């Protein structure tokens, strides 16, 4: 059963606190992604990971960092969260970055930074 | 530059059809994908097109015109459960990731 999981599903933090969002996949996919989705802006790519310890900035990496120590697990870290990082965060995975590679999305994490 | 444009909203009636338009601009073209996203849920892959013309997949069909930078998703025999946001996405210049449109919210009424 192909699945992408995300934890936690909902999170409330205060400005300046550290945030850790976790993502897992059971499909042995090489490539994993972190997006954020905001009304009117659509899905924006934060980071892409091509495999363990092979990460690349996306379109909006400022204020975020990632960690991928195992192929099935990809973390997004916010050091000192800001209120403008309130958003819905989606993790996704794909077999590779081939043009037909479908992206499978997790259920999302709704983060509120107060 | 690169970008994907979609109308914000589309309303239709159960049993009829809805056409969701998408225009894009990219440096090089590596295919276009359509995703469905229901309210409060994750995007789910629907279709991938890379060749010009109509691709009939039953309930969902897609059309592509590469020369015009245009695609549409055609939803036929609409059901209430088809109410969702439909996202169009193209590969970026490096081919490494997808550039998503903001999505078109399709509302199907009885």
| 3-state per-residue secondary structure call for B73-102 | EEECCCCHHHCEEEEEEEECCCCCCEEECC
Q: Which two tokens stand for residue A20?
A: 């850790």
How far off is chain A from B29, nearest CA to CA, in Å?
Answer: 10
Contact call for B45 and A102, based on CB within 8 A: yes
Q: What is the pLDDT of residue B93?
A: 67
Residue B42 to residue A103, Cβ atoms within 8 A = no
Cα–Cα distance measured from residue A10 to residue A112, given in angstroms and rounded to the nearest whole number: 8
Name the least confident of A32-46, A99-113, B53-67, B88-102.
Answer: B88-102
Which band of pLDDT confidence, cut at 50, 70 and 90, is reported for residue A1?
low
**Residue A99, pLDDT score:** 64
Q: Which of A48-57, A83-92, A95-104, B9-18 has the lowest mean pLDDT?
A: A95-104
Q: Is A61 on the interface with B (CB under 8 A)?
A: no
pLDDT attached to residue B26: 84
What is the arrangement of strands in the sheet containing B53-57, beginning at the earlier edge strand?
A: B3-5, B18-25, B70-75, B60-65, B53-57
Which stretches in chain B have pLDDT values below 70?
1, 93, 95
Percent residues over pLDDT 70 in chain A: 96
Per residue in A54-82, pLDDT (tens digit) is 999 999 999 999 999 999 999 999 999 99
Residue A19 has which token pair?
């945030």
| Per-residue pLDDT, B1 | 64
**How many C-alpha atoms does B22 have within 13 Å on its Cβ side?**
34
């Amino acid at each position: 059963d192909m699945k992408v999981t995300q934890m936690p599903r909902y999170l409330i933090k205060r400005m300046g606190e550290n945030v850790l969002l976790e993502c897992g996949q059971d499909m042995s996919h090489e490539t994993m992604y972190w997006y954020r989705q905001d009304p009117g802006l659509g899905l924006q790519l934060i980071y892409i990971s091509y495999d363990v310890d092979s990460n690349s900035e996306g379109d909006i990496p400022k204020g975020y960092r990632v960690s991928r120590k195992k192929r099935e697990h990809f973390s997004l870290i916010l050091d000192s969260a800001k209120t403008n990082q309130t958003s819905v965060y989606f993790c996704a995975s794909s077999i590779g970055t081939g043009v037909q590679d479908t992206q499978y999305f997790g259920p999302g994490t709704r983060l509120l930074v107060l | 530059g690169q970008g994907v444009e979609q109308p914000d909203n589309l309303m239709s009636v159960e049993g009829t059809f809805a056409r969701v338009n998408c225009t894009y601009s990219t440096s090089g073209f590596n295919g276009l994908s359509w995703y469905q996203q229901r309210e409060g849920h994750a995007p789910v892959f629907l279709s991938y097109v890379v060749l010009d013309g109509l691709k009939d997949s039953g309930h969902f069909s897609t059309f592509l015109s590469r020369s015009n930078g245009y695609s549409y998703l055609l939803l036929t025999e609409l059901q209430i459960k088809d109410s969702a946001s439909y996202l169009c996405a193209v590969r970026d210049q490096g081919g490494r990731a997808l550039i998503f449109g903001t999505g078109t919210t399709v509302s199907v009424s009885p």
